[in-house]
Amino acid sequence: MDARLNVFSSPAAGKLMKHLVSAAKVVGGSTVPYLTLELVNLRCSQINGCGFCTDMHIKDAVAAGESQLRLNLVAAWREATCFTEAERAALELAEEGTRLADASGGVSDEVWANAAKHYDEEQLFALVSQIALINSFNRLNVITRQPAGDYVAGQFS
C-alpha cells in the first residue's frame, strides 16, 4: 500500500506532528503507567483500523516489557483474565471515548465512575488526553493511508 501523502516530507505535517508529539510527551509524564497508555493507544488504534499506530504501539510496548499475550488479547480484553481492574477501566474509557458517535451521550457515567475508582483527576485528564491524541493520530494515518510494518521501536522518541 502506498501512502496518499508523504507526511514525513511535508513542512505543514511536520509542524502539526511536532505539536501533537509534544502534547503526547506531557501525557507520558503523568503517573498513569506507561504500559497502560500503550494498551489504550493499541485499543483505540484497533478500533480505528490504524495499522501504522497498531504496529507502532505493539512494538513500543514490547520494547518496554509488555507481554505478547496481553497485546494479543487487547481486542478481547473483556474476556481476558490478564488485565488489572485499572487497565480494564482505562480500556473501557478508551473504547467509549473512541466510539463517541455510537453513544448518544458520549462516555457513560458508569464508565467514567469506574475509571475514577482507579485514577485520580490528573490521571483521568491524562487518559482522556491520550485517547484524544491517539484518535487524532489514527485519523491522520488512516485518511492518508500510512502503511504499517516498518516502524522500529522508539523511532520517534
Query: pTM of the predicted model, to two decimals?
Result: 0.93
13-17: average pLDDT: 88
pLDDT digits (tens, 9 = 90+) for 98-139: 999 887 788 999 999 999 999 999 999 999 999 999 999 999
Residue 32 pLDDT grade (very low, low, confident, very high; cuts 50, 70, 90): very high
Task: Output the average pLDDT for the chain.
Answer: 94
Joined together, the cell numbers standing for residue 65 give 516489557
With a cut of 80, say whether residue 36 has pLDDT above it.
yes
- Residue 131, in any domain of the structure: yes
- Provide the domain limits for residue 70: 33-143
- Residue 7, in any domain of the structure: no
- Residue 15, in any domain of the structure: no
Handedness of CA 88, 38, 34, 116 (dihedral sign): negative
- Residue 4, in any domain of the structure: no
Using alpha carbons, list the distances in angstroms from residue 43 to 12, 33, 75, 114, 126: 28, 16, 6, 18, 16
Joined together, the cell numbers standing for residue 149 give 510494518
pLDDT digits (tens, 9 = 90+) for 139-151: 999 999 999 989 8
- Residue 122, in any domain of the structure: yes
